[in-house]
Amino acid sequence: MNNAPSEGPDPAEIRSRLIHWYDAHCRDLPWRRTRDPYAVLVSEIMLQQTRVDTALPYYLRFLQRFPSACHLAAAPEEEVLRLWQGLGYYRRARQLHQAARVLVERYGGRVPPDFEAVRSLPGVGDYTAGAVCSIAFDLPVPAVDGNAQRVLARLFGVDEPADRAAGRRRLDELARRLVQGPRPGALNQAVMELGSTVCTPRRPRCDRCPLAGLCVAGRSGQPEAWPVRQRAVRWAEEDVVVVGCLRGDQVAVIRRPEGGLLGGLWALPYALRQEGETWVQARDRLGAVLAAELGGSLRWYPDTLQGRWDFSHRRWHWRLYLAWSGGDRTPAGGAGSGAAAPPHGAGLPGPAGRVAETPGPWDSGAVRWVGLGHLDGLPMASLDRRLLEQAMQVLAKLPQRQVPGLRGQVPRVPEQVPGQRSRPEPLPGRGRTGPGGAREGAGAAGQE
């Protein structure tokens, strides 16, 4: 086994080639035009498990609204989530919000030039702390994300699996050796830039690599054999039934539980299809919960939508059923057509309001009515906005008499910001996207 001995490629030669290449070929990205540690922190959190082109507009809008840790710390969570919606991995937004409050409480709103202090912030791992400290403060600390792992494993021919502790330690050791010298921030960014644009997972462009001739994997003729991986990512496949329940110009929504999938965001009522249960049986089970909660029976529309939605390690096969509620009851604390979002943490009024989901029931709050024109005031995941958009397109094609209570033209759901990961389709098609293309393993693990 090749253990990448210290007698391998000369670190000084590697540094020189990388920094020279980076200065000449790096992409012009807004977070590279600043050494403001807060801005660097925001960019690194956003780039965890997210493509650069997806993160760009969010980064600019976020800093325009929250130009400092003090501004972010003073904002309500609802506003932070609303600005983040569509970017995914919503736990990052909450942790960044919490980190800003820690910075205000402990450091006067400034990011301290200390690796351990930055590492202790919520949502910050070794990679993110290393990136912030090296880029903003020129501290000689490594920043090893998935791109850097790939470059280092190929360059030195590291045969230990990069997804095991021994392999990660070896790659971190190599990165620590390389970063000792002038411009550590530029060196770290050069390694990541090389992995993102040249030393790619598939079909690396070895002919354009500044390290050609030094790279073990390149000389082998099989660069894609590195980094070595011991385990493959497995999808958790789940069937999910979703109900778009209307009453006039309002739609029923619930709030997902904190700590769970897309925690704290608003959504259409949903439930996992149970083993041995047909789709219609799952629909009727969820419909019975909604009817009991809303105080009246549901009328189902014949049109059904289905599709697929991919999370980091989970895949939802969903079906959306449209219904009209004839009940007059407004759930406790319910919102009217123009009402703002109901308060966070409202408890469900009883078992009728609980919808089964693995590993157990969620109790994120009672079902609420919200006006279709006011959905932009709620933080919602891309999935739910896309489902609502598709539902409105279906309803718009129905005769007006088949859509009770809707006044005039069917409202258009407020458009989401970019960043959705798959597109729902009418039956019988399914969306087709996969997990590829995201920036790998940056900092703390991304959360669904």
Task: Say how far apart CA 4 and CA 443 lie, in whole Å.
Answer: 24
Question: How much is the mean pLDDT over the chain?
Answer: 80
Report which residue type is found at 414.
P
* Alpha carbons within 13 A on the beta-carbon side of 131: 29
Which has more pLDDT, 437 or 163?
Answer: 163
* ∠ CA 283-285-290, rounded to 5°: 90
DSSP assignments along 314-357, one per residue:
EEEEEEEEEEEE---PPPTT---TT--PPPTTPPPSSGGG-B--
| Confidence at residue 262, expressed as pLDDT on a 0 to 100 scale | 80
pLDDT in tens, 120-176: 999 999 999 999 999 999 999 999 999 999 999 999 999 999 989 999 999 999 999
Task: Say how far apart CA 266 and CA 264 lie, in whole Å.
Answer: 7
Task: Say how far apart CA 55 and CA 145 lie, in whole Å.
Answer: 17
Class of domain 11-225: mainly alpha
335: exposed, middle or buried (C-beta count within 10 Å: 0-12, 13-18, 19+)?
buried
How many beta carbons lie within 10 A of that of residue 318, not counting itself? Answer: 22
* Residue 292 reports pLDDT greater than 70: yes
| Confidence at residue 89, expressed as pLDDT on a 0 to 100 scale | 84
What b/e string do you get for 385-420 counting C-beta neighbours within 10 Å, with b at 16 or more?
Answer: bbbbbbbbebbeeeeeeebeebeeebbebbebbebb
Which has more pLDDT, 348 or 44?
Answer: 44
Catalytic residue set: 44
pLDDT in tens, 175-218: 999 999 999 999 999 999 999 999 999 999 999 999 999 999 99
Task: Say how far apart CA 374 and CA 371 lie, in whole Å.
Answer: 5
How many beta carbons lie within 10 A of that of residue 75, not counting itself? Answer: 14
Judged by DSSP in three states, 271 sits in: strand
144: exposed, middle or buried (C-beta count within 10 Å: 0-12, 13-18, 19+)?
buried
Supply the CATH classification number for the domain 236-426: 3.90.79.10
- List the domain boundaries for the chain: 11-225, 236-426
pTM, two decimal places: 0.66
Task: Say how far apart CA 214 and CA 176 lie, in whole Å.
Answer: 18
